[in-house]
Amino acid sequence: MSSYHLDAGVLIALFDTDDAHNAAAIDGLYAIQESKATFGLSALAYAEFLIGAIRSGRAAVDRADKLLERLCPDGPVAIDKSVAARAARLRAENEWLKTIDAIVIASAQSAKAKGLLTTDKKLTRIPSVRYVGA
């Protein structure tokens, strides 16, 4: 079970040293890892993260997979009926929330994570979401 789940934005920031959130994401994860926390991610966050790597080529995909193996050794959380229902509930209760973000948050909640780490400030309107961006 993971202590925190990572949103795609955090993974992208860690992977891309030119990303505006790179340093903040590294600092945020380092601080959390010091408390012996573990990390997980949604299958949807994994897919979003891989898009840029795939566009960059095979070597980038290999680097992305190695990063994920180190950070999230249990692999992505599947989007099953329970996650989908929880996401629908989140979306229904928060009209401003996009379905894609609701699925990522619901995945973290279903995995009983302490929270979701993100580079998207607006998602912190959900109590379990923590901002680690610049």
Domains located in the chain, CATH noted: 4-131 (3.40.50.1010)
Task: Band the pLDDT of 1: cuts 50, 70, 90.
Answer: very low
Query: Structure pTM?
Result: 0.88
84/102 Cα distance (integer angstroms): 9
Radius of gyration of the chain from Cα atoms?
Answer: 14
d(CA 83, CA 113): 13
Q: What average pLDDT does the structure give for the chain?
A: 90
| Rounded-to-integer distance, Cα 6 and Cα 40, Å | 6
